[in-house]
Structure 1
Amino acid sequence: MRGYFVGAGLAIAVATMATSAMAQSEIKIGEINSYSLLPAFTEPYRKGWQLAVEEINAAGGINGKKLVVVSKDDGGKPADAQTAANELVSSEKVALLAGTFLSNIGLAVSDFANQKKVFFLAAEPLTDAITWSKGNRYTFRLRPSNYMQAAMLVEEAAKLPAKRWATIAPNYEYGQSAVAVFKKLMSEKRPDIQWVDEQWPPQGKIDAGPVVQAVAAANPEAILNVTFGADLVKLVREGNTRGLFKDRKVVSFLTGEPEYLDPLKDETPEGWIVTGYPWYSIKTPEHDAFLKAYQGKYNDYPRLGSIVGYQTIKAAAAILAKANSTDPEQLITAAEGISMPSPFGEITFRKIDHQSTLGAFTGKTALKDGKGIMVDSAYRKGSDYLPSDAEIEKLRPKD
């Protein structure tokens, strides 16, 4: 009987050692996003990060350790995102957190990361607050912010003769931030313009008829649009029906992204000034390699979400490899100032505000073969559209 217990104990010890060795041979990243709420963006995003994981592990992992991503759905709720973050850190023992889409959720996870001293790489949230007014030492952001995209759009918008402007944006952190910074930058370049109307439909629940009617009644010469997804489709449909966009200029955040253009099909309005992702007209070695790999794996074309998912995990892996540690402080040291390749060319995570210099494409909407596309597109480097270090020091709290 004693031999039995010794044998059983030895078996347990061996199993524990094997489990421990397995844990030591892999590095986990905890990933959170609004998969069930925003599938048009998050499904391509998931495909992007899965491709990145496959490439990283095929190349030997992170300093010889296998990369594992543990993913959770926040359902579009900040509280659920914080719960997911806590489970990933406490139960899954992830080395860092990554992801999120909506700006209010990104801020919630950033706050969690700051309180718990966990490294967080925000993928998609665009609010300026995440790296500036509510920035913290544990949070970094990949995508070009509202400020950066607004500055890119204002370059073109300021050339328009229009003086009377209206705005339409979802009434939550992202929409509020985008409108505020666009108005600020636009008014600095064009002090002669007037802001004649603002419409703030709830995110995901736009009642497009009254919104279009109210904007038309204000009789603007130009419109800033910040709606996206299903709200954008409803706004465009109602606006086309009522002639809102006829003879009016429209400047629109995100609308050139395939995930938002594709559902519009032949209803796509032409001539809107937009940021987006014209994957079909980007001719660089870095993007060609990404496109070939993505289409080879999925037999589908990438969306902007695909780029964001892919580069989020590539960036996290580069930071982990440089740090050669999962200690949050060493990850921060490794991340501040790190440069790396991306499908859009080399990018850097700035030390001063933890913002990456990933840029965006600007161009105009057009119709081709019954489908919306971007034309006259040009890549804008993120580093060219950020305030001075002195301005950022005023905007960002001291760590």
Structure 2
Amino acid sequence: MAGFTFSRRSALAAGTGILAGLRPGHAPAQGAPIKVGELNSYARMAAFAMPYRNAIQLAVDQINQAGGVMGGRPLEFVFRDDGSTPGDAVRVAEDLLTREGCAFLAGTFLSNVGLAVSDLANQRKKLFLATEPLTDALTMAQGNRYTWRLRPGTYMQTRMVVEAARGKTAKRWAIVAPNYEYGQSAAANFKKLIGSAIPGAEIVAEQYPALGRVDAGATVGALAQARPDGIFNVLFGPDLTAFVREGNTRGLFERRLVLSLLTGEPEYMLPLGDECPDGWIVTGYPWEQVQDAPHKAFIEAYRARFNDTPRKGSVLGYVTAQVVASMLNKANSTETEAMVDALADLPTQTIVGNVTMRALDHQGTMGTWVGETVLRGRTGTMRNARYADGANYLFPEDEVRAARPRS
């Protein structure tokens, strides 16, 4: 079943509240809404989560104006903060399912939180569409029938930047990553993949500061002492800003190749300002360089409605709503098993192209942009950026079968 299509005309209608973008023969959705329980780190990770929420609402409003889902029912996301801890998130998820009467769960940001909600979904036999958590445990060793992940995980994004470094000469590598599930998963994947791109590469130093509490001076000092040729960085948010500032001051990045996950995303690039490093190979989102017509229409609508430029979270939020609408239209039911079955190999045409939810490991093929950091004026962005289709970076099927529990 075709997913929700976002045209330029309907984009502008959504941005201004004008109903001119309705598809022929469709009236605005009516009746009892289909509720999705969306929990996320809106307080702690607001830079990413609030643009994500904004874009979900933009997409939902347009979907409902165009006739809704499942033959005319409105779609509704019920947003809650997950407390950024596994215990709080599980309590919020229970409340969304019971008191709010949501058909299924979506969202979460931190990987350990996502794993906790995934475990709850498996116990309760309720669908959970994990949108942001990047740990590969969600789709591999701790995968289950009821959990699906939309965004490219740590293996996929690490493979993207490692392959971009193919042919480079850096042999001695240092790793810096937050000391929790996401950082550990990314580091493990880097160790596994770097040798295929740079034969003879070795790890000479590893630093794992606590999330949100990086001692930038000590971390930079330890990395510099190891004298690496290259650095694999997985820090993000305020930790990244502190690390870059200290690294620039001490010259850590001079004449060194840096591979960095997420750094090219506006959420993390903007706070760096004119301290943005030059030449890092990163994953990110250079929104101002995207030329695809549906995506440009999305950008126009987002800017018109929120008086701001989109972030990477905005893209994820919009695609989330598109995939949810596509799934509900195919299932034509809010019964859990029907929705789970509908997600298996479900293709959706989105603002980043086709996204398919692979049945083998419940991983979406959504990709991201890969390029190099560059300072333009007083703001960092990406150069030589290209969209890396996630379908080309999935785990090999034999590795999935070996790692994933049978269900």
TM-score band, normalised by shorter chain: over 0.9
What is the aligned partner in structure 2 of residue 245 from structure 1? Answer: 253
Give the Cα separation in 2 of the matches to 1:374 and 1:58.
35
Structure 2: gaps spanning 5 or more residues? 1-28
Give the Cα separation in 2 of the matches to 1:50 and 1:391.
37
Please state how far the C-alpha of 1:43 moved relative to its aligned partner: 1.1
1:1-399 → structure 2 map (5 Å cutoff): 25-62=32-69, 63-399=71-407
Give the Cα separation in 2 of the matches to 1:78 and 1:343.
32
Query: Could you tell me which amino acid in structure 2 is paired with residue 92 of structure 1?
Result: E
What is the aligned partner in structure 1 of residue 3 from structure 2? Answer: none
Task: Encode CA deviations 1:221-260: one digit per residue, 9 max, x unaligned.
Answer: 1100000000000000000111111111111000000010
Query: Could you tell me which amino acid in structure 2 is paired with residue 45 of structure 1?
Result: Y
Query: Could you tell me which amino acid in structure 2 is paired with residue 153 of structure 1?
Result: V
The answer as to whether partners of 2:168 and 2:198 remain within 8 angstroms in 1 is no
Query: Could you tell me which amino acid in structure 2 is paired with residue 99 of structure 1?
Result: G
Please state how far the C-alpha of 1:159 moved relative to its aligned partner: 2.0
Task: Encode CA deviations 1:47-91: one digit per residue, 9 max, x unaligned.
Answer: 111111111111111121111111110121111110000001111
Give the Cα separation in 1 of the matches to 2:102 and 2:164.
43
| Partner secondary structure for residue 309 of structure 2 | coil
Give the Cα separation in 1 of the matches to 2:375 and 2:102.
45
Q: What is the aligned-residue identity percentage?
A: 52
| Partner secondary structure for residue 129 of structure 2 | strand
Q: Which range is displaced more, 312-321 or 41-50?
A: 312-321
Please state how far the C-alpha of 1:94 moved relative to its aligned partner: 0.5
Please state how far the C-alpha of 1:179 moved relative to its aligned partner: 0.7
Give the Cα separation in 2 of the matches to 1:148 and 1:398.
22
| Partner secondary structure for residue 232 of structure 2 | strand
| Partner secondary structure for residue 363 of structure 2 | coil
Give the Cα separation in 2 of the matches to 1:321 and 1:363.
36
Query: Could you tell me which amino acid in structure 2 is paired with residue 252 of structure 1?
Result: S
Task: Encode CA deviations 1:150-188: one digit per residue, 9 max, x unaligned.
Answer: 111111223210111000000000000001001101123
| Partner secondary structure for residue 349 of structure 1 | strand
Please state how far the C-alpha of 1:388 moved relative to its aligned partner: 2.6
Q: Greater helix percent: which structure?
A: 1
Give the Cα separation in 2 of the matches to 1:270 and 1:189.
22
Please state how far the C-alpha of 1:370 moved relative to its aligned partner: 1.0
Q: Which range is displaced more, 341-350 or 226-235?
A: 341-350
Structure 2-normalised TM-score? 0.91
Please state how far the C-alpha of 1:266 moved relative to its aligned partner: 0.3
The answer as to whether partners of 2:165 and 2:197 remain within 8 angstroms in 1 is no
Please state how far the C-alpha of 1:24 moved relative to its aligned partner: 6.2
- Aligned-residue RMSD, C-alpha: 1.3
Q: Which range is displaced more, 256-265 or 339-348?
A: 339-348
Please state how far the C-alpha of 1:346 moved relative to its aligned partner: 1.1
Structure 1-normalised TM-score? 0.93
Give the Cα separation in 1 of the matches to 2:307 and 2:229.
43
Please state how far the C-alpha of 1:42 moved relative to its aligned partner: 0.8
Give the Cα separation in 1 of the matches to 2:112 and 2:396.
26
Give the Cα separation in 2 of the matches to 1:337 and 1:135.
16
Please state how far the C-alpha of 1:396 moved relative to its aligned partner: 1.0
Structure 1: gaps spanning 5 or more residues? 1-21
